[in-house]
Amino acid sequence: MPKSLNVRLQTRGDNRKGRPLQPETTLVMSANSVWNIDHFRAGLIRGLAANGARTIVVAPGASGSDRIDIAIERSGVNPLRDAALVMAYRRILSRIRPAAYLSFTIKPNIYGAMAARLAGVPAIPNVSGLGTAFLGGSGFARFVSWLYRLAFRRCPTVFFQNRDDRDMFVARSIVTLDQARLVPGSGIDLGHFVPAMGDDPATPTFLFIGRLLGDKGVHEYAEAARLVGRQLPGARCQLLGPIDGENRTAITRAELDRWIASGLVEYLGEAEDVRPYIAAATAVVLPSYREGLPRSLLEGAAMARPLVASDVPGCRDLVREGVNGTLCEPRNAASLAEAMLRLAELPSARRAQLGKASRTMVEERYSERFVIDAYLDALRALPGFKAG
């Protein structure tokens, strides 16, 4: 476990640590899609349930027992619709009266936390990544910073998935250092993602997993595929993930079709289970512009695959040059191609060493058990909250 996270877990609510939550404790959890909850937070929900908590999921498309549908325009900036979203969250929270509101992704974090404050419910947001619009110096970026500051002002705990994001929020006075806690991403189920058996493929095979977005470096990946193909004819560069039409940087279907037609990439579509694709890959690649703590790299590392990623916050937390993979300059297709070629030209035994180091890193630092413990610690530390 990272040293800083370990210290926090030991210094918050020590007298209650390890004890179950109150019987029938109800929590509300929200993200901008039910897919996000099902794929990234299922282990957390199970861990909370094992400690006595019932979790009600609030997300677009949610249906069934303990699930509530809510309309969220992920990329919109319409103030009337955002105000309506705050009120929708407030009605839900006022009706359920949960012990806490747990949130992920931008709008549930901002507008859900605002609503929780109005409803008198403690909010524990998780900053799982920052959009590029937030990082610039534009008036819109300053406005978003103001929204975060307003929303997080009274939150007892705000989770961050890397130190860069935490330090930026503290430096901008969006949160205090006492509020901020580091958590190892969404964690990884080490029993589900296990090391791939056998040697890596004879043909160099690079795998990108994620939404097909410009901000994820997909344009650079396609250009790098062209450059790699010149040096290693037959090398395979694969894309696995959805086309996210709602995102302003989404790759269009026409762009993707051109890449496929020219033989630059193989498009694998979407998959509920990514493990067979990781097992068949030489390395997992993510040339993103910025991340919280990327799930695709965690999954690749857990399956003992080397990693190739851009040297940016989030990615650099998981990739150590020459230890478990290699880094490239962000937004630079030539640098990405060089990194992919360096990895492909290594002896198979050396790549196996890098993959083994990836698995060891995940076991030591990124098990979902650490995430569950961090949330239990934050819940037990709530004012007036008593363990069961």
H or E element that contains 44: helix 42-50
- One of 3.10.20.30, 3.40.50.2000, 3.40.50.2300, 3.40.630.10 is the CATH number of 205-365, namely 3.40.50.2000
CATH class in words for 3-187+367-380? alpha beta
pLDDT tens digit sequence for 197-227: 877 888 999 999 999 999 999 999 999 999 9
Contact 282, 200 (CB under 8 A): yes
- Res 4: pLDDT: 34
Whole-angstrom CA distances from 83 to 114, 154, 201, 278 are 10, 19, 52, 42
Q: Judge whether residue 378 has pLDDT over 60.
A: yes
* Dihedral sign, Cα of residue 73, residue 74, residue 79, residue 83: positive
Nearest-10 Cα torsion for 258, 261, 266, 270: 60
Q: Tens digit of pLDDT for each residue in 115-159?
A: 999 999 999 999 987 866 666 667 778 888 999 999 999 999 999
In the chain, which segments carry CATH 3.40.50.2000? 3-187+367-380, 205-365
Residue by residue, what is the 3-state secondary structure of 288-299? CCCCCCCHHHHH
Q: Is the pTM of this model over 0.85?
A: yes
DSSP for 110-130, please give it: HHHHHHHHHHT--EEEEE---
**CA distances (Å), origin 140, targets 81, 106, 298:** 17, 14, 32
Q: How many CB atoms lie within 10 A of CB 138?
A: 11
The burial class, CB within 10 Å (0-12 / 13-18 / 19+), for 362 is buried
